[in-house]
Structure 1
Amino acid sequence: MLTKKQRDLLEFIHKRLQKNGVPPSFDEMKDALDLRSKSGIHRLITALEERGFIRRLAHRARAIEIVKLPEDMSQPKGFQPKVIDGPHPSPAQPANVTPDEVQLFARELPVMGRIAAGVPIEAISHVDHHVAVPGQMLKTGGQHYALEVHGDSMIEAGINDGDIVILRETATADNGDIVVALIEDEEATLKTYHRKGGSIALEAANPAYETRVFSEDQVKVQGRLVGLIRSY
């Protein structure tokens, strides 16, 4: 699976190679994708290479070879967790139920893809499948979505590889909240949020992973953890 940025870059490289046989420079790629620095292009190139879509040829400047292309390059797959209502409507909840009774009524949420609990990777926006969620998890109100966890950096918070996390869509968070954070509009990760002044720290719950610190303009909160469905 590719993010929209990865697909856009792959398509841009492919078109340039078709046009004149020479891949674009990193500056040209940065400008084409409207990125602020070439470090973002380096990350995208590495991701495309790891996924087998391109190959970098050693000892040759600007040497990039297209290995394969997605079947459909026109469908964006960036991280856009705003689509909540899937094709399967949730069961109607009777009126005048008590807070204790609300947990009896399940709602189906779309599982939007996978989220990294480790080194940041992309979250995929297409609906992979749906999951039934107890109403008790959604009593905070608002819009919700689900993601499958990939990685072990939140294991000491009780979040394991393969678990499904339930998130309430929000753009804000308090210190100590576990959030989905979008980094530089490219990568998303599940971490504990800490803000101090103009900096935001994304902290793992595993000593094997370092806390990463960003400026506030590099991080966008996309959702706050409200529930967990364990995978065995």
Structure 2
Amino acid sequence: MKTELSPRQQRLLDYLREQIAETGQTPSLRRAAGDLGVSHTAVAEMLKVLEQKGLVKRHGRYGRHLHLLNRAGATAGIQRIREVPVIGRITAGLPMYAQQQWEESIVVDAELYKGDNLFALRVKGDSMTGAGILSGDLAICRPRQYAADGEIAAVLINGEEATIKRFFARADHILLKSENPDFPPQRYGFDQVLVQGRVIGIQRGPDVMQRL
């Protein structure tokens, strides 16, 4: 499909890029029409052309939200960022993703890290080095209240201590295994461990990179 655009179509595309970069949101057709000094119908027709040329993708036929596309047909980098909270102090009775005590937040690629209510935990100690998870790393977690045997999960122990370990459910206990022979497996009762999420990725902090 040819991507040559008329001056008005290019102006709309540039306008969309600027607005999304500034606000993180797609402007309404009414606002775009007002800002560009054209009719609502003209904006709708130009959007249709941009979509046909593979430059934007709209959610639904009449959906307001759209994605700007790159040359590979994937969502452009400008719309691929998302903010994930780094959990600090744990508040009893709340799941980790609902905690209000954030140490900070990090920006991740939304195409790689999908799902609602993602959260991050800062790794402390060397118990998971065999899985490539180092002290100071940030473990990105997808909320979940269960874990399959062998999965690396974020768990809350005795309602206070958050940790990242391999999870195993046995007939009469929960076994949390490290990925370092210097740290023996930990055994807990079912009422002592609450699964909070599955680890779906690791972000390596600059302090960790300096040590490597």
The TM-score, its normalising length taken from structure 1, stands at: 0.51
Superposition map of 1:133-148 within 5 A? 133-139=108-114, 141-148=115-122
Cα distance in structure 1, aligned partners of 2:161 and 2:181: 22
The equivalent of 2:175 in structure 1 is 201
Query: In the superposition, relative to structure 1, how do residues 102 and 150 fare at CA in structure 2: closer, same or farther (>3 Å)?
Result: farther
Alignment RMSD, CA only? 2.8
Q: Secondary structure at the match of 1:108?
A: strand
Superposition map of 1:59-74 within 5 A? none
Cα distance in structure 1, aligned partners of 2:128 and 2:172: 25
The equivalent of 2:85 in structure 1 is 110
Q: In the alignment, which of 189, 192, 203 is matched to residue 163 of structure 2? A: 189
The equivalent of 1:128 in structure 2 is 103
The TM-score, its normalising length taken from structure 2, stands at: 0.56
The code of the aligned residue for 2:174 comes to: I
The equivalent of 1:101 in structure 2 is 74
Query: In the superposition, relative to structure 1, how do residues 184 and 209 fare at CA in structure 2: closer, same or farther (>3 Å)?
Result: same
Flag as ranges the 4+ runs of structure 1 deviating above 3 A: 90-98
Deviation at 1:103, TM superposition (A): 8.5
Contact residue 154 and residue 206 of structure 1 kept, 8 A: yes
Query: In the superposition, relative to structure 1, how do residues 226 and 103 fare at CA in structure 2: closer, same or farther (>3 Å)?
Result: farther
Superposition map of 1:151-190 within 5 A? 151-190=125-164
Query: In the superposition, relative to structure 1, how do residues 131 and 196 fare at CA in structure 2: closer, same or farther (>3 Å)?
Result: same
Query: In the superposition, relative to structure 1, how do residues 146 and 211 fare at CA in structure 2: closer, same or farther (>3 Å)?
Result: same
Contact residue 103 and residue 135 of structure 1 kept, 8 A: no
Deviation at 1:111, TM superposition (A): 1.2
Query: In the superposition, relative to structure 1, how do residues 180 and 103 fare at CA in structure 2: closer, same or farther (>3 Å)?
Result: farther
Contact residue 137 and residue 226 of structure 1 kept, 8 A: no
Deviation at 1:198, TM superposition (A): 3.0
Q: How many residues align?
A: 134
Q: In the alignment, which of 219, 227, 231 is matched to residue 193 of structure 2? A: 219
Superposition map of 1:82-93 within 5 A? 91-92=24-25
Higher helix share: 2
Which of structures 1 and 2 has the bigger CA Rg?
Answer: 2
Contact residue 91 and residue 107 of structure 1 kept, 8 A: no
Cα distance in structure 2, aligned partners of 1:102 and 1:113: 32
Deviation at 1:95, TM superposition (A): 4.0
Identity percentage of aligned residues: 35
The equivalent of 2:29 in structure 1 is none
The code of the aligned residue for 1:195 comes to: A
The code of the aligned residue for 2:160 comes to: E
